[in-house]
């Protein structure tokens, strides 16, 4: 059983969610030229340092009832939502790993996927809070995705030999996710989607490497975005979080979907 691995992945995801949320605040404060946050975590309302036992992802939030121990002001629901989503994201990706069947190359791809997911998590949090995708992190995500795409193609070639099929499949995925958002951005002159969304799309397309999965991701992201944002009547939508959530769902259920498509469509 690999249940211990899944528990570990969920816990790691929740810890990382807490860490990324905190790093997003740090970067925001830095970019806004506000005074730096110290090394230790503090309450954003009263500035009091958090004790280690108030800093445990999910558990502490629930124990404190979502309020700071010192000033009793609300910490905000977003913190526990981020920790839960990151936990679930890691759990979902972890469930696709066949521990007994991992080559050295597969572990390297796993490592870069974790790095990619971390940068995506950061981008989603930052975009949801301030409707902006920090460029440095975006570039880091693209670099991770390029490495993942190359390693996946390499591993495929080493198993079944070279053919153009997988390469066109990869290029299609990049086009579907990158070009769609680039066109939306250009058509609306940045009114509907931001200038970072299409770069994020390119990264996701590279990491997926499959045109069908890219189409499903596109549909899912817009569907989730519509359901969440429709009641809010905002003109400009921060698409980042929806793209990232859709990406995590698609990679979790990729085998299932490809099996389904292989059976029904082809």
Binding residues vs Zn ion (CB under 5 A):
43, 45-46, 68, 70-71
Nearest residue (CB) to Zn ion, 39 versus 232: 39
- Give the residue with the Cβ less far from Zn ion, 61 or 198: 61
The first and second tokens of residue 126, run together, are 């930052």
Q: Find the shortest distance in angstroms from Cβ 68 to Zn ion.
A: 3
Measured from the CB atom, the residue of 74 and 165 that comes closer to Zn ion is: 74
Place of tokens 């975005």: 225
The answer to whether 28 touches 35, Cβ cutoff 8 Å, is no
The nearer residue to Zn ion, 67 or 131, going by C-beta atoms, is 67
Whether the Cβ atoms of residue 102 and residue 110 lie closer than 8 Å to each other: yes
Report in angstroms how near the CB of residue 76 gets to Zn ion at its nearest: 12
**174 near 194, Cβ under 8 Å?**
no
Indicate the residue among 26 and 73 with the shorter CB distance to Zn ion. Answer: 73
User: Taking the complex as a whole, how short is the minimal distance between the CB of residue 35 and Zn ion, in angstroms?
Assistant: 17
- Nearest approach in angstroms of CB 173 to Zn ion is 45
CA distances to 106, 110, 165, 175, 251 from 154, rounded to whole Å, are 11, 15, 13, 21, 19
Question: What is the CB neighbour count within 10 angstroms for residue 26?
Answer: 13
Task: Supply the minimum distance, in Å, between the C-beta of residue 26 and Zn ion.
Answer: 17
- List, in order, residues 6 or more apart from 246 with CB less than 8 Å away: 217, 218, 220, 221, 224
């Amino acid at each position: 059983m690999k249940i211990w691995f899944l528990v570990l992945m969920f816990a790691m995801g929740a810890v990382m969610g807490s860490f990324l949320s905190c790093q997003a605040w740090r970067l925001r404060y830095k970019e806004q030229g506000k005074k730096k946050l110290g090394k230790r975590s503090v309450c954003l309302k009263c500035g009091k340092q958090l004790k280690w036992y108030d800093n445990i992802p999910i558990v502490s939030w629930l124990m404190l009832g979502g309020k700071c121990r010192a000033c009793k002001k609300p910490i905000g629901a977003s913190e526990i939502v981020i920790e839960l989503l990151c936990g679930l994201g890691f759990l979902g990706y972890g469930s696709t790993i066949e521990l007994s069947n991992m080559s050295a190359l597969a572990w390297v791809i796993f490592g870069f996927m974790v790095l990619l997911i971390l940068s995506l998590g950061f981008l989603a949090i930052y975009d949801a809070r301030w409707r902006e995708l920090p460029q440095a992190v975006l570039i880091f995500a693209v670099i991770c995705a390029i490495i993942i795409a190359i390693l996946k193609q390499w591993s495929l070639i080493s198993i079944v030999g070279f053919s153009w099929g997988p390469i066109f499949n990869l290029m299609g995925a990049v086009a579907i996710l990158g070009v769609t958002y680039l066109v939306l951005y250009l058509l609306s002159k940045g009114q509907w989607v931001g200038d970072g969304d299409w770069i994020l799309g390119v990264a996701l397309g590279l990491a997926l490497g499959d045109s069908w999965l890219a189409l499903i991701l596109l549909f899912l992201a817009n569907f989730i975005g519509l359901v969440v944002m429709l009641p809010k009547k905002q003109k400009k939508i921060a698409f980042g979080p929806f793209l990232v959530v859709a990406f995590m769902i698609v990679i979790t259920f990729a085998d299932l979907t490809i099996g389904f498509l292989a059976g029904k469509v082809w």
